[in-house]
Amino acid sequence: MRILKAKKITKAFGGLLAVNNVDFHIDSGEIVSLIGPNGAGKTTFFNVITGIHEATSGEVQFLGKKLKKSKPFEITKLGIGRTFQNIRLFASMTVLENIMSGQYCRTHTDLFGAIFATPKAKLEEKKIREKALELLDFLELTDKKDELAVSLPYGYQRRVEIARALATEPKLLLLDEPAAGMNTSEKLDMTKLIRKISEKGYTTLVIEHDMKLVMGISNRIVVLDYGNKIAEGSPEEIQKNPKVISAYLGKGGAQ
């Protein structure tokens, strides 16, 4: 099943074409990686999908619904969850509270219920907590649940951010450079985590610079260079593609 389809997406900032006429799709259950040099347009493309930027031209469809002029919170409710290149955790909240916050886009309690703690509101809060505890266990964060999220080591903060994105109950998960700033051991853990998330049934789109991670997780890779899509294929095909080697991977490809 085709989850997301982007057709001829162009995004210009003044005279700069950040994304130029890009076609893209992702099917249910895939891990697709979007790679390219710095400034290739990867994060801009993510931001178009998630409603942070409106495409200059072209069309994005998610589960058959056009996303034109949809706001980020509306896109989250439709089922697209994401993380950011720069971690954006709530500094004054615990790990558990950060993850619970991701669930609130699925709640129905109104202002009256929230203020007066009606039975319906209490039941909903209980379900949110239970869901967050399940995610803590899944991402091996249970022993960290009462710690301030921003006090954790960097690798754990990344896990908390991913858990919060999963708490939105996404049908498509977007990870923006999940291994950025990590050491070799942390990158290996992140590789295993992304595979684990995929095995749980999540469809995942990843921006990442670490080629060992990309080659180790991806079913398919799409390559951007100066806003243009220059290649698409399996990890093996991408490693051998002359345009990719020239633009990004360097002579000899990724090892």
Q: Is the pLDDT of residue 188 over 50?
A: yes
Domain ranges of the chain: 1-79+170-255, 93-169
Q: Is the pLDDT of residue 221 over 90?
A: yes
Distance in angstroms (rounded) separating the CA atoms of residues 156 and 145: 11
Residue with the bigger pLDDT between 218 and 112: it is 218
Reported as a single tens digit per residue, the pLDDT across 117-146 is 677 767 778 889 999 999 999 999 999 999
β partners of residue 175: 206
Distance in angstroms (rounded) separating the CA atoms of residues 102 and 96: 10
Residue 86 one-letter amino acid = N
| Strands 203-207 and 172-176, bridge-based pairing | parallel
This prediction has a pTM of 0.89
Options 2.60.120.590, 3.90.700.10, 3.40.50.300, 2.60.40.420; CATH of 1-79+170-255: 3.40.50.300
Q: What is the pLDDT of residue 7?
A: 97
The candidate with the shortest Cα–Cα distance to 222, out of 18, 23, 20, is 23
Provide the 8-state DSSP code for 244: H
Q: Is 87 left (phi over 0), alpha (psi -120 to 50) or beta?
A: beta
